[in-house]
Chains A and B, each alone.
Chain A
């Protein structure tokens, strides 16, 4: 069971934490708030101010503070940077994982430190035309990979250059660009195409940002810290189009292979702005998997529907529905759903509750639902 919990923790953890639902605030592209145009990783100065003045509640700030003062305290260690070329950030995330809550026989509780990152950014030029990002941190390793994968690792390190406001090129270790980068790496939409917590890859990312189109082309050679036979090499393309001024619809294709398997993933997605911070995220996709000896060749199918409702500043109510079919030629499938609450009482602090019910459907066997919940704490400086 201990091993199973560690595997779960591995799945729940997230390397770079992106909040794609913030399209509900009118931010169609991740580039407004992140150095990485595909989202996740360190926030830029604008992103930190948005975090302080829009995402987080203002209730805990001194009453005499105005919003300008709140914004001015959004830098590292509450300071307003005095220079433009260097930024640092620190992130911690941990959670209480409770499985089978209420069961006298099988309830399991455990606090897990998921993330402890130190980040450094150098940037030069107008609108941060040149950026260099390094992100080093802790990540729990599942039992079966202990000794094979490091607990402390570089999560990201890349250089970026905006050739012009529309076109940028980025090279280094980054997340693969594919589908909606939802925060839950346990999501089937992240598991099946293998774009989870430790699936960053060395490569070159081209980014185009037009008035109504955004496109990414990512060629990658795998994570060079891994043995060559394990590195997933390939490429991905993702295209998004702005619909009705405030929504985004998109599609992704990714092909990758190592010595043991070959994956062809394709999906389509939508990010819908419900206004006032509320949003809907949806994705459907398939992953064709071919193995070296043909023993586990199959096509997986998944669906994701997430809703974020924001009744007031600093508070989001979530709902999550997922579908997964391990092999589309078989009848078995899994549905996972659950509510959640995300609270940002002040900038630098996120508290989150997620409950998950997982049910497997099969014509041949029956299995009991499984329940679990997470209580997360996220602190960033």
Chain B
């Protein structure tokens, strides 16, 4: 019974471990969706009192995986990964679940509004962007297209000061 309890506690604790991950949810036309996921989200989030701040949170474009190797290659190429290998979120300031920041993709910077919540040692931030605002052209491959609107969810551990 003790072993079982220990196992249950161990499994339970896994859900509150610190992790770094970004998930992009992308709709397909005519229908369907896929996710581009990277576990290589880097950066520091600082909690000061009730407010949060972060600067230079980065992810390598070529660390994004979509579940199809060919689609990975198309995604990286589409996002100009050779010329602009990273997406960067800078100057993030947040309070009471809402934050603002500047996102740079494909060498173009745009302000973004972010909603966040605390989950154990992590902060879970969500925001939506339009690919066209970052100079990314409309995507279509053999009749199947990709939506302009992309929802992102970033999970990063934070440090309290």
A contacts, CB < 8 Å to B: 25-29, 31-32, 44-46, 49-50, 53-54, 58, 66-68, 70-71, 127-128, 165, 209, 211, 214, 245-246, 276-277
Contacts of A31 in B (CB 8 A): 30-31
Given known A26-B34, A127-B143, A128-B143, contact A49–B70 (CB-CB < 8 A): yes
Complex Cα–Cα for A45 and B28 (A) = 16
In the complex the two chains form, is A26's CB within 8 Å of B67's CB?
A: yes
In the complex the two chains form, is A32's CB within 8 Å of B32's CB?
A: yes
Residues of B29-87 whose CB lies within 8 A of A = 29-35, 67-71, 73
In the complex the two chains form, is B141's CB within 8 Å of A46's CB?
A: yes
In the complex the two chains form, is B31's CB within 8 Å of A67's CB?
A: no
B contacts, CB < 8 Å to A: 25, 27-35, 67-71, 73, 141-144
A-B CB pair tally, cutoff 8 Å: 65
10 CB contacts below 8 A, A to B, read A26-B33, A26-B35, A28-B31, A29-B30, A29-B32, A31-B30, A31-B31, A50-B68, A67-B69, A68-B70
Ranked nearest first, the 3 interchain pairs of A and B with the lowest CB-CB distance are A29-B31, A67-B70, A46-B142
Report which residue of A26, A58, A66 has the largest number of chain B beta carbons within 10 angstroms of its beta carbon.
A26
Complex Cα–Cα for A301 and B97 (A) = 50
Q: Which residue in B31, B32, B69 is a CB contact (below 8 Å) of A53?
A: B69
Contacts of B29 in A (CB 8 A): 165
Q: Which residue in B31, B33, B67, B70 is a CB contact (below 8 Å) of A70?
A: B70
Q: How far is the CB of B26 from chain A (nearest CB, A)?
A: 9
Q: Which single residue of chain A is at the shortest CB-CB distance from B25? A: A245
Q: How far is the CB of B136 from chain A (nearest CB, A)?
A: 20
In the complex the two chains form, is B33's CB within 8 Å of A28's CB?
A: yes
Complex Cα–Cα for A112 and B33 (A) = 38
In the complex the two chains form, is A27's CB within 8 Å of B32's CB?
A: yes
In the complex the two chains form, is B73's CB within 8 Å of A67's CB?
A: yes
Complex Cα–Cα for A192 and B142 (A) = 37
Contacts of B144 in A (CB 8 A): 32, 46
Q: Which residue in B28, B69, B142, B143 is a CB contact (below 8 Å) of A26?
A: B28
Q: Which residue in A32, A71, A127 is a CB contact (below 8 Å) of B28?
A: A32
Q: Which residue in B25, B27, B30, B35 is a CB contact (below 8 Å) of A165?
A: B30
Q: How far is the CB of A348 from chain B (nearest CB, A)?
A: 17
Contacts of A245 in B (CB 8 A): 25, 33
Complex Cα–Cα for A49 and B141 (A) = 10
Contacts of B71 in A (CB 8 A): 53
Q: Which residue in A32, A45, A128 is a CB contact (below 8 Å) of B31?
A: A32
In the complex the two chains form, is A26's CB within 8 Å of B32's CB?
A: yes
Complex Cα–Cα for A171 and B29 (A) = 23
Report which residue of A29, A32, A277 has the largest number of chain B beta carbons within 10 angstroms of its beta carbon.
A32
Contacts of A211 in B (CB 8 A): 27
Task: A165-B29, A214-B31 are known; give 18 further A-B pairs, CB within 8 A.
Answer: A28-B31, A29-B30, A29-B31, A31-B31, A44-B142, A45-B143, A46-B143, A46-B144, A54-B68, A67-B68, A67-B70, A67-B73, A68-B70, A68-B73, A165-B30, A209-B30, A211-B27, A245-B33
Given known A26-B28, A28-B31, A165-B29, contact A71–B143 (CB-CB < 8 A): no
Complex Cα–Cα for A45 and B143 (A) = 8
Q: Which single residue of chain B is at the shortest CB-CB distance from A214? A: B31
Q: How far is the CB of B2 from chain A (nearest CB, A)?
A: 33
Report which residue of B27, B31, B32 has the largest number of chain A beta carbons within 10 angstroms of its beta carbon.
B31
Q: Which single residue of chain B is at the shortest CB-CB distance from A23? A: B32
Given known A165-B29, A165-B30, contact A54–B67 (CB-CB < 8 A): yes
Complex Cα–Cα for A50 and B29 (A) = 15
